[in-house]
Chains A and B, each alone.
Chain A
Amino acid sequence: MFRDSSIIRWRAYKDRYMLEGYECSSCGKKYFESKGMCPCGSIEFNEIEFSGVGKIVSFTQIHSGPEAFSEQGKYCVAIIDLAEGARITAQIVDCKFEDLAIGTNVEAVFRKFYKSGEKGAIHYGTKFVPKF
């Protein structure tokens, strides 16, 4: 369910704005979302900043998205393997769906997510574009 809240968005600034994630201090595995425990058994994690480059693992096109995204028309969403090893789902912009492929190199950009109506806050975060 799509929840439109400035506060929820504000709590996610670190990962949505900066692509900050976590690295297991024992085995070095990297995660975009925080984990209670790594499969290696460690519960210790260090905060890291991802470089923002990666490859598309899978992708699709959304023809009828949430109302807040209606200004964008149809848009592309992909699962991306970041260069450091973590996996993320994000919008791919500045490209045509037909030009995307599994393995396309992408890089992170800072873009508008949506606006909360005419008077509400503007929400920003990380999307990806094909590397050029």
Chain B
Amino acid sequence: MAGIIGYGAYIPKYRVSAEEIAAVQEANANAIKRGLGLTEKSVPGKDEDTITIATHAARDALARAGINKKDIGAIYVGSESHPYAVKPSSAIVAEAIGIGNDYTAVDTEFACKAGSATIQINAGLVDSKMVKYGVSIGADTSQAEPGNALEYSAAAGGAAFIIGSNKESLAIIDKTVSFTSDTPDFWRRSMQAYPSHAGRFTGEPAYFKHVIGATKLLLEKTKTKIEDYTYVVFHMPNGKFPRAVAKIFKVTEEQLVPGLVVEKIGNTYSGSSLLGLAAVLDIAKPGDKILMTSYGSGSGSDSFALTVTEKITEAQGKARTTQDYIDRKEYLSYAKYLKHMETIH
């Protein structure tokens, strides 16, 4: 199959801590941190949105790919916080990275798996030789209603991947599968500012059923075992859920922790599992195998088996790492956080 020839991450500089939110919600911060498995979350700058985050990640992905950007034939931006209801984020990102006009573009939406699905789409286009390279991006500035439990985790960030032929790849996609059903666990109706969710229903019949279902399917179809993988990344709505799935599959700390970026930045929705993948690629070595499973409410999971090639070593140093962005931070007060989210003006 096709593979990843360049990747880039981006996380805004700003953070709000669980303590800061808990103080306003009059909740127990330690219980929240323990329950959700995260300590703080990323917040967009006042002049940042899904389009600027996607552009930043795409530029880093291009720097790593080292290709003629005019050879890009497709660009897809997956998000549940596209700035426009009607006007494509993907075309604005394409213009900002300067790929010319000979490309197809569309915005995708499938809750938190809108980005991973575009990797499958681009892999299909590359393998069928319809395009030479395709750009797949997952980025979000997630919304959470003040006072809602989501406020502790809904974060901002994204990652971009340039998909090309397996000969040029720094990580070849060995196999990808999906596991999908109509499950009403989380949604945002048209014209509504904030999403709604079905509370505890978002766990067992939603996240766990689909992440476990897709991962099992991938292991069966590739005839591999979890211990064959150097790194394993599961979608991270919080720090607790991916750890629970890891326990079921007997994933070790060494396999899981390098991609578990949620603890310090929160749930970046469409960027979540993709940022985990980028973090793992930052430290991967030739021959390493990576398993990544995304999750999008509604519901579905895309699972990928990847093999890292010798091209990874040169690519890693050509742009900032995910950890560089995690380490760069400035904390906001709760009031400033609301201003950054345009909740208050």
Contacts and interface: CB of A to CB of B under 8 A. Distances in A.
A49 B98 contact: yes
B56 A109 contact: yes
A112 B13 contact: no
Given A111-B48, A111-B52, A112-B49, A124 B96 contact: yes
A120 to B, nearest CB: 11
Interface in B88-106: 92, 95-96, 98
B328 interface: yes
Contact of A18 (B13, B52, B83, B98): B98
Contacts of A101: none
A128 to B, nearest CB: 12
Interface string A94-108: 100000000000000
B328 A112 contact: no
Interface in B144-202: none
A10 B65 CA distance: 28
B293 interface: no
A13 interface: yes
Contacts of B223: none
Contacts of A110: 52, 55-56, 59, 96
A17 B345 contact: no
B22 interface: no
B124 interface: no
Interface in B281-327: 324
Count class of interface residues, chain B:
20 to 34
Nearest to B84: A122
A72 B342 CA distance: 11
Contacts of A112: 47-49, 52
A13 B47 contact: no
A67 interface: no
Interface in A1-39: 13, 17-18
B285 to A, nearest CB: 27
Interface string B14-40: 000000000000000000000000000
Contacts of A90: none
Contact of B96 (A18, A49, A72, A73): A18
B135 to A, nearest CB: 15
B83 A72 contact: no
Contact of A13 (B45, B52, B95, B342): B95
A63 to B, nearest CB: 16
A71 B55 contact: no
B338 to A, nearest CB: 13
A55 interface: no
Given A72-B46, A94-B13, A109-B56, A124 B51 contact: yes
Contact of B45 (A49, A93, A124, A132): A93
Given A71-B345, A94-B13, A124-B52, A111 B47 contact: yes
B56 A17 contact: no
A71 to B, nearest CB: 6
A73 B339 CA distance: 10
19 contacts: A13-B95, A17-B95, A18-B98, A49-B98, A71-B46, A72-B46, A72-B47, A73-B46, A93-B45, A94-B13, A94-B330, A110-B96, A111-B45, A111-B47, A112-B47, A112-B52, A121-B87, A122-B83, A124-B51
Given A18-B96, A110-B96, 5 more contacts: A17-B95, A72-B47, A110-B52, A111-B47, A122-B84
Interface of B: 13, 45-49, 51-52, 55-56, 59, 83-84, 87, 92, 95-96, 98, 324, 328, 330, 342, 345
Which 7 pairs, one residue from A and one from B, show the smallest C-beta to C-beta distance?
Answer: A111-B47, A110-B55, A112-B47, A17-B96, A18-B98, A94-B13, A110-B96
